[in-house]
Amino acid sequence: MCGRFRRRSDKQRIAEAFEAGMGLDELYLEAEDDIAPGSVQPVVLENADGMRQIERMRWGFQLPDRFLFNARSEGIETSRFWKESFRQRRCLVPADSFYEWQKVTRGKKPKYEFEVVGRQPFGMAGIWAPWKNPKTGMMENTFAILTGEANAVMRPIHDREPVIIEPRDYAEYLTLQERPPAHLLRILPEKELKASLVS
């Protein structure tokens, strides 16, 4: 699951971390501590010339009966709704941490912040597609974050977590190829994920 995340890195830091040189001049970014589905956020993608660029897209697809902002990595290659985007339109979603709330039987749900050790920002696996906003009637690009089963650090809090791509795999994840890189949709080792209770 990924329902909230934090981005403190500025556009220059994001450009350096993801080696993205396109789209910076027109991009204005403010740090955000509680990013929610439905908001417009920067993502990193590879353009038709093979260059990485930063583009702003809306997080989530508003369907007639539901709102989708995450996609399960298991079965992504065969999913009727997601498979075309995974084959043709992959992106990375820059974040400095993400949040999850622990499920409890009674009382207030404790909120936890998760950081990737030694990596700010890191890249969450994303997919995107053109989408018609039902409120405005306008076409816009929209993304979803891929999730997988939780590792041992996350499991006591929640059973899902975002898929985080290793920097050495950014090029393979973003570049179009005959067979999409499903093998990169791995969950981080426990030692690389740090959890902190948010007071």
The CATH number linked to 179 is: 3.90.1680.10
pLDDT of residue 193: 96
**Domains contained in the chain, number:** 1
> What's residue 107's pLDDT?
77
Strands (E), the chain: 4-7, 32-35, 40-46, 52-59, 61-62, 67-68, 70-72, 90-95, 97-101, 111-116, 122-132, 139-149, 160-162, 164-165, 193-198
Q: What is the pLDDT of residues 86-126, one digit of tens each?
A: 999 999 999 999 999 998 877 788 999 999 999 999 999 99
Domain that holds residue 57: 4-198
pLDDT at 144 over 80: yes
Kindly report, residue by residue over 15-54, the tens digit of the pLDDT: 999 999 876 777 888 899 999 999 999 999 999 899 999 9
Residue 1, pLDDT score: 60
Whole-model pTM over 0.85 = yes
Pick the range with the lowest mean pLDDT from 9-13, 33-37, 63-67, 153-157. 63-67
